[in-house]
Amino acid sequence: MCGGRLPGDRKARALCQSHADAVFGPVDPPWRWLDAKTQREIVDEWLRGLTIIAHPDGRTPEELLAEIAEVNQMTVDHISIVSPLLPGEARTLTETTRANSRLRSRETKVHAFVTLLLVDWLAEETGQTRSDVLHRLALRLDAWLSEHDRPDAEDKAE
pLDDT digits (tens, 9 = 90+) for 40-63: 998 999 999 999 988 888 998 889
pTM of structure? 0.66
Of 36, 50, 25, 43, whose CA–CA distance to 122 is shortest? 50
Clarify whether residues 32 and 76 are in a common domain. no
DSSP at 3: T
Shared domain for 84 and 149, answered yes or no, is yes
Comparing 35-39, 65-69, 136-140, the range with the smallest average pLDDT is 35-39
Same domain, 10 and 82: no
Query: For residue 14, what pLDDT is reported?
Result: 60
Q: What pLDDT is attached to residue 24?
A: 75
| Residue 14 shares a structural domain with residue 64 | no
Q: Residue 25 is which amino acid?
A: G
Number of domains composing the chain: 2
In a domain, 1, yes or no: no
Q: Give residue 88's domain range.
A: 38-157
Q: Within a 10 A sphere around the Cβ of 64, how many other Cβ atoms?
A: 19
What pLDDT was estimated at residue 129? 93
DSSP secondary structure string for all residues of 37-72: --HHHHHHHHHHHHHHHH--TT--HHHHHHHHHHHT
**Is 77 a domain residue?**
yes
Does 31 lie in the same domain as 51? no
Task: Tell me, yes or no, whether 53 and 14 share the same domain.
Answer: no
> Does residue 24 sit in the same domain as residue 42?
no
pLDDT of residue 112 exceeding 90: no
